A and B are shown apart, each in its own frame.
Chain A
């Protein structure tokens, strides 16, 4: 009777381990941070792309509208893919696009904008990547939606696509 009980316990334990590992097999082994609740935008000071003057975050986000912050660089290939979609989003009057130029050569970045068009109402420079960290980004491109209360409500890692554009339009409606 005691042996049967021990066997039962061992089987239950092995079954438990099997379920844990089996479920683990289906999980992705790469981690990407998610936004579980709204976060305030960081308070910062950054250089303006065109004038080289320093701007503070209050001045950049001074209107009571939605903002889209897009982290981009001229050397980033996926940024080229998403650029036409950003151009499309920039036509929307209820939102302003802020570009955050990430660890880039200024001349190359200017050539990029001249070649593909400028969807941004303001571009700020992040030479050392620290401003992107303040936003919680870890790569490029990344896109953040900031609501009227100046809170980040949504974050998209990687290039945006048509589905994401639809989602963004629903959020900023």
Chain B
């Protein structure tokens, strides 16, 4: 009887951990698909698109996740095939320095102007 109980506990633990891992993979898949741009209907993400290209990408992403590939590696794979533009979230590189640094510079500049104005008022 005791052995049977232990067996049942182990069985359910394994089953639930499997379901949890499937859920985790689904969440990761949705996140990735929402962050990939469809090259056929440009303006839609792969997640939203029904094009043939989108369905192929969905299959590829699913396959890569099941192979145990990490999110970053999947993005790298797609970048290598289609360039940086295919990912909605651009990486920091020489082509995107202005994109990433300009808001920061404007923020600092704005801060400096406000600071100066406040100092002048005093």
- Which A residues lie at the B interface, using CB under 8 A? 29-34, 39, 103, 128-130, 132-136, 138-139
Contacts and interface: CB of A to CB of B under 8 A. Distances in A.
B39 A129 contact: no
B85 A129 contact: no
B85 A138 contact: no
Given A138-B39, A139-B40, A129 B83 contact: no
B105 to A, nearest CB: 13
A32 B82 CA distance: 8
Contacts of B82: 33, 136, 138
Contacts of B80: 39, 136
Contact of A130 (B42, B59, B85): B59
Contact of A30 (B42, B59, B83): B42
Contacts of A34: 83
A33 B39 contact: yes
- Please classify how large the interface on chain B is, using the bins under 10, 10 to 19, 20 to 34, 35 or more: 10 to 19
Give 8 nearest A-B pairs by CB, closest first.
A129-B56, A136-B81, A33-B82, A138-B39, A138-B53, A33-B83, A133-B60, A133-B56
Given A129-B53, A135-B81, A138-B40, 7 more contacts: A29-B42, A32-B39, A34-B83, A133-B81, A134-B81, A136-B82, A139-B40
Interface of B: 39-40, 42, 52-53, 55-57, 59-60, 63, 80-83, 85-86
A129 B85 CA distance: 21
Contacts of A134: 60, 81
A130 B81 CA distance: 12
B60 A130 contact: yes
What secondary structure prevails in chain A residues at the interface with B?
Answer: loop
Given A31-B42, A139-B53, A130 B83 contact: no
A103 B40 CA distance: 16
Contacts, number: 45
Max chain A Cβ within 10 angstroms of own Cβ: one of B42, B57, B82, B86 = B82
Nearest to A29: B42
B73 to A, nearest CB: 15
Contacts of A139: 39-40, 53
Contact of A133 (B40, B42, B57): B57
Contacts of A30: 42
A129 to B, nearest CB: 3
Contacts of B56: 128-130, 132-133
A87 B42 CA distance: 33
Contacts of A39: 80
A32 B86 CA distance: 10
Given A31-B85, A33-B83, A133-B81, A128 B59 contact: yes
